[in-house]
Chain A
Amino acid sequence: MRFDTPATTNPIDQGKVVGKPIHRIDGPLKTTGKAVYAYEWHDRNTRYAYGYVVGSAIAKGRIRSMDTAAAKKAPGVIAVVTTEAVGELKKGKYNTAKLFGGMEIQHYHQAIAVVVAETFEEARAAAALVKVDYTEEKGAFDLAAAKDSAVEPEGGGASGAGDFDAGFEAAPVKLDQIYTTPDQSHAMMEPHASIAAWNGDDLTVWTSSQMIDWWRTDLATTLGIDKEKVHTMSPFVGGGFGVKLFLRADAVLAALSAREAGRPVKVALPRPFLMNNTTHRPATIQRIRIGAGRDGKITAIGHESWSGDLPGGGPEVAVQQTRLLYAGENRMTAMRLATLDLPEGNAMRAPGEAPGMMALEIAIDEMAEKLGLDPVEFRIINDTQVDPENPERPFSHRNLIGCLRTGAERFGWRERSKKAGARREGDWLVGMGVAAAFRNNLVLPSAARIRLDREGIVTVETDMTDIGTGSYTIIAQTAAEMLGVPIEKVAVSLGDSRFPVSSGSGGQFGGNCSTAGVYAACVKLREAVAQKLSFNSAEDLIFAESEVRSGDRRMPLAQAVADEALVAEDRIEFGDLTKTHQQSTFGAHFVEVGVDVATGETRIRRMLAVCAAGRILNPITARSQVIGAMTMGVGGALSEELVVDKERGFFVNHDLAAYEVPVHADIPHQDVVFLDETDPMSSPMKAKGVAELGICGVAAAVANAIYNATAIRVRNYPITLDKLIKELPEIS
């Protein structure tokens, strides 16, 4: 099905199942421990071996030699596979850093060997016996130091309209500030893990992946084998946030070592490897300039961002929201990319927009103050319904103003002190902050197969993944709605490369696109049913209560499969609507903080997000996505930072004790409101995404609340107490 004209009324609009607060259909499996995650697959008749990875002890250089004699002799050891013995491997399309093979070291904890043994403990003990001799090279690890050497990234990425320099120069009210965001880790709960099993030339890999087909393709490329020989499965994924978008070392090591060991091998990346072996959200340095008239209208807005990556990598696109979020005729954005020898920087929840909004939405707060305007009103004054760089291109649907107004009302925004540092409750300095939320809506093709069998069971098969998001549930809701059957009659099978290729999970595109693919397959199945039951056309048919109806004629759905099951497969493909119309999601975050007047510790008191993101397919799973994103935003605001050792070139705090994500005690009551809307430009589902919208702007709302509480403006994240303490009020 090609989607190239706006959706009209369709069966999803009935809203009998889609849009209802249905609990996760896979919930009981998870709460009873029966959902099987990658490392847990265990066939009683298989003797698994266990692989333990050895990581590079240096950040940059070459391996001179590797001595595995002691490891090979250690108890229980079956095989030692080294990067030296394997030699150069091809790199997957989506990988910047190589995952394994060859003598070059590109970053700390790069995988250089895997030791396979009868037990995990034996493998781990033997891995410590591998001796490596390196030639260390000096690397670049400090973004600030490398900033001046940064260049325009491939493809440019600069944008503009009008004459920014002149517009900014002429503006009566100006802001020109630098903001920084640190490297961050995805810190998902389930580590990367894979089991690989060879059967002749056929390879089966149970892994933890957001994108089944990308992994399958890149694993085949890396191993130099035919993609058709690779079978990949990830039916359950314990969180990803982007770090499981692209093939990782565990899958490569499992495959190589299973071949060497001659039996299935399990490989998990130990927690410290998450930070230095995989990918992270790169640090940014951002300069924002805003000029406005005294009426509060922005006349010039410029946003530049510097980030770094390994050679061949890309920039953190932290300026992309500034191209679209606020009006203003004179505009400029630009990015610069430095070469850094840190681990690979790549996508993490709302790549680009999350760090970009961390900076932009403080700048907007600062500008509102300069203008003497309420920050909510300043944002409303500068709303735009068209792409400001390209005014003939409208937004498909944009209700940022509704989010801001609804949020202000619900949160009690009028209680906010207009003067910063003026509200105190006991030992707490109390403040409120607001930020807009903004994330583009991405669309990727997505396919599904639907089977209606003689027992009346609808089975959906797609390689879509559920990374904790609720994919199982919204896909079941879609099929139930389309075919007029109770949701209990729908079985959903996901995360298997034998199924049709879906959008996968990432970029908040998975919910909308994968259900649109299921919609397309259901339309085909409805046609097959219509034909089977001798209806003239499928178009006017109503599928409801396990019946097919047209006018007065009613037929049991079961009759269509009285002889044999019906199977339909289709793929949604998206046309030019994303080009003719800007598709984005919108929201507003409101936060109240308390800052301890003595110590500068910031604690969140209340949070509210109002989201306008098209049709909400399931308010329970959508809310879960948004509160998770708000929580991650709090981490970004207050504690999360991968600390770079600028001499040794690695992230020092590489475990969950030292990389502090919020815990329950940090997160108070969170409210989420979804505005009731649909976006017919996005897909037949008229839905968009919320999972990344939910994080965009949160950290800035916290930063703005801290400013409101303390009158201290911190522009370098995370806002830890050491950045406040010098300027806190005197205490007796």
Chain B
Amino acid sequence: MRAFSYERPASIEAAAQAAAGMDGAKFIAGGTNLLDLMKLEIERPTHLIDVNRLGLDRIEATPEGGLRIGALVRNTDLAADERVRRDYALLSRALLAGASGQLRNRATTAGNLLQRTRCPYFYDTNQPCNKRLPGSGCSALAGFSRPLAVVGVSDACIASHPSDMAVAMRALDAVVETVRADGTTRSIPIADLHRLPGDTPHIEHVLEQGELITAVILPKPAGGKQIYRKVRDRASYAFALVAVGAVVQPDGTGRVAIGGIAPKPWRKEAADAELPNGAKAAAAKLLEGARPTDDNAFKLTLVERALSAVLSEARG
């Protein structure tokens, strides 16, 4: 870990300004991902801006009938919130499928969205990795790729996004609220938050330097059956090989987002439209243009079968 300076600003605006003014600055919230990466020198911030005490830890009803989730709401608190459990069960289930109790106590809503890939080559600083060291190459393409992405990938990077929560947020049409250094705010639909790797896999989202996520807004409840099915090698404390987050209405329509297969939570409107026609049709749309490796081609079959199980559970 490199030495760094640290500050705990008094306001959201001050935090954004502080970060904007310094290239190596980063926000720190729960630190469950950032600190690990700093110890390995994968992240080397020169300055940390602690946003834990900015009052961003509340969950409030919105005038539109939705929920405004503060960026610093801990995963445990979010999963346990009565309104979330009642109206956004998908989110609660996705959160509880992730990490461990200890990590969820610490991890935050915004931090979870921005967590970085668990690609093993990203984590080993001796190995080429375009995401960690742009231009060095991708070790995973010809190496160990079983847990990695099959859609949305590029020749530069096949890393997958590890979040469970983000999959639920994507299916629930969440919107990310931010504040920029100049004090202006903007709303970013979660679909637009993460970028695909292309030839710049080190740039993972659309936030500007200094732009701070303050909240995640959920629109009014979507109803239907809300199912989160996480498929993994062991029963707990493992990242998803494939995760299906679905909202299915009694008439068979609905929406579905997939985790574990792409550099971002993966959803296609065309696939949603096919849901009434069954898993095969929807999966075909979700996986259009897939570029699997020999190691992870099984995910194509797994997406379809897991989705089939989810739709059948929704019907039952």
Residue positions of A touching B, CB distance < 8 A: 57-58, 75, 108, 121, 124-125, 128, 272, 427, 596, 598-601, 603, 638-639, 643, 645, 647-648, 652-655, 657-658, 660, 662-666, 720-722, 725-726, 728, 731-732
Contact = CB atoms under 8 A, between A and B. Distances in A.
Interface string B223-240: 000000001111111110
Given A639-B234, A726-B301, A125 B306 contact: no
B306 A652 contact: no
Closest 4 CB pairs of A and B: A598-B309, A722-B298, A665-B235, A57-B126
Given A599-B305, A601-B231, A652 B241 contact: no
B124 A654 contact: yes
Interface string B112-140: 00000010110110110000000000010
Contact of B120 (A57, A121, A128, A658): A658
Please classify the interface of chain B as helix (H, G, I), strand (E, B), loop, or mixed, using the class held by over half of its residues: loop
B301 A653 contact: no
B94 to A, nearest CB: 17
A731 B278 CA distance: 11
A442 B254 CA distance: 63
Nearest to B123: A655
A722 B146 contact: yes
Contact of B238 (A647, A654, A660, A725): A660
A121 B234 contact: no
5 contacts: A596-B309, A658-B147, A722-B298, A731-B305, A731-B312
Contacts of A124: 1, 39
A732 B144 contact: no
B302 interface: yes
Given A645-B144, A722-B146, A125 B305 contact: no
Interface residues of B, number: 37
A596 B229 CA distance: 12
Given A57-B126, A721-B302, A726-B301, A658 B118 contact: yes
B235 A732 contact: no
Contact of A652 (B1, B143, B237, B309): B143
Contacts of B120: 652-654, 658
B3 A664 contact: no
Contacts of B231: 599, 601, 721
Contacts of A596: 309
Nearest to B232: A601
Given A601-B231, A728-B305, A648 B139 contact: yes
Given A645-B144, A654-B124, A663-B234, 10 more contacts: A58-B126, A598-B306, A599-B242, A645-B139, A647-B143, A658-B118, A664-B236, A665-B236, A721-B302, A731-B305
Contacts of A652: 120-121, 124, 143-144
A111 B114 CA distance: 34
A608 B109 CA distance: 43
A600 B306 CA distance: 10
Contact of A731 (B118, B121, B123, B308): B308
B147 to A, nearest CB: 8
A721 B306 CA distance: 12
Interface string B1-25: 1110000000000000000000000
B62 to A, nearest CB: 36
Interface string B280-316: 0000000000000000001001100110110010000
A645 B143 contact: yes
A125 B308 CA distance: 49
B174 to A, nearest CB: 27
A725 B234 contact: no
Contacts of B147: 658
A333 B29 CA distance: 59
A664 B100 CA distance: 12
A58 B124 CA distance: 12
Contacts of A643: 144, 146
Contacts of A728: 305
A490 B276 CA distance: 73
Contacts of A272: 124
B123 to A, nearest CB: 7
B182 interface: no
Nearest to A664: B236
Given A652-B144, A721-B241, A598 B234 contact: no
Contacts of B238: 660
A598 B305 CA distance: 5
Contacts of B118: 657-658
B144 A599 contact: no
A603 B234 CA distance: 8
B308 A666 contact: no
Contacts of A666: 234-236
A433 to B, nearest CB: 19
B305 A725 contact: yes
Contacts of B237: 663, 665
A368 B130 CA distance: 52
B60 interface: no
Contacts of B232: 601
B37 to A, nearest CB: 13
A54 to B, nearest CB: 11
A596 B302 CA distance: 12
B3 A665 contact: no
Nearest to A639: B233
Contacts of B306: 598-599
Contacts of B241: 721
Contacts of A731: 305, 308-309, 312
Contacts of A655: 123
Interface in B133-167: 139, 142-144, 146-147
Given A128-B41, A655-B123, A732-B308, A725 B302 contact: yes
B143 A603 contact: no
A125 B144 contact: no
B146 to A, nearest CB: 7
A554 to B, nearest CB: 59
Nearest to B1: A125
B234 A662 contact: yes
B24 to A, nearest CB: 15
A660 B120 CA distance: 13
Contacts of A665: 234-237
Contacts of B239: 657
Contacts of B123: 655
Nearest to A127: B41
**Chain A CB within 10 A, most for which of B39, B143, B234, B308:** B234
Contacts of B142: 647
Interface string B191-232: 000000000000000000000000000000000000000011
A124 B126 CA distance: 16
Given A75-B3, A654-B124, A722-B298, A603 B235 contact: yes
B285 to A, nearest CB: 19
A658 B232 CA distance: 12
Given A648-B143, A654-B124, A660 B233 contact: yes
Nearest to A128: B41
A536 B39 CA distance: 69
A198 to B, nearest CB: 29
A725 B233 contact: no
Nearest to B296: A722
A547 to B, nearest CB: 54
Given A125-B1, A128-B41, A725-B302, A638 B235 contact: no
Contacts of B124: 272, 652, 654
A283 B126 CA distance: 24
A108 B146 CA distance: 22
B236 A732 contact: no
B308 A720 contact: no
Nearest to B39: A124
A719 B73 CA distance: 39
A254 to B, nearest CB: 21
A657 B143 CA distance: 18
B234 A660 contact: yes
Contacts of A653: 120, 144
A596 B230 CA distance: 12
